[in-house]
Homo-oligomer: A and B are copies of this chain.
Amino acid sequence: MLDTFQALAEPNRLAIVSLLKAGPRSVGDVVDALGIRQPQVSKHLSTLKAAGLVEVHPEANRRIYRLRAQPFMSLQAWLEDYRALWAARFDEMDKILEEIQQPGDEPEE
């Protein structure tokens, strides 16, 4: 869990994860999409892979990275332990949901 948080606690890596949410991408795709230089993308992907957040499978000339489901499921399970926190506070929950649904408002990054 700590590894997951550490992996996500960096802006570019969070952006990469967010991009990969839409589907698998090659390193070059990530470079083009996010405007980060290739070596840094490779390094960040390496970090994400070490944390188990992504997996690689080579395809022709490229290496395709995709999100792994497992850490997200673990995160979900981790969150369950905190559910008692907000279970009773539906008023706040409404506010949060509104905030997230606001157009132009990015819930991440």
On A, residues with C-beta under 8 Å from B are: 1-2, 5-6, 8-9, 11, 14, 21, 23-24, 67, 69-70, 72-79, 81-82, 84-86, 89, 92-93, 96-97, 100, 107-109
Main secondary structure of the interface of A (DSSP, over half): helix
Q: Which residues of B contact A82 (CB under 8 A)?
A: 21, 67, 72
User: What CA separation (Å) do A76 and B1 show in the bound complex?
Assistant: 15
Is A109 a contact of B2 with CB atoms below 8 Å? Answer: yes
Partner among B11, B70, B74, B86 whose Cβ is within 8 Å of the Cβ of A107:
B74
Q: A9-B9, A79-B79 are in contact. Are A86 and B72 (CB under 8 A)?
A: yes
Which residue on B lies nearest to A86, using beta carbons?
A: B69
Is B97 a contact of A69 with CB atoms below 8 Å? Answer: no
Q: A5-B8, A8-B5, A70-B92 are in contact. Are A79 and B85 (CB under 8 A)?
A: no
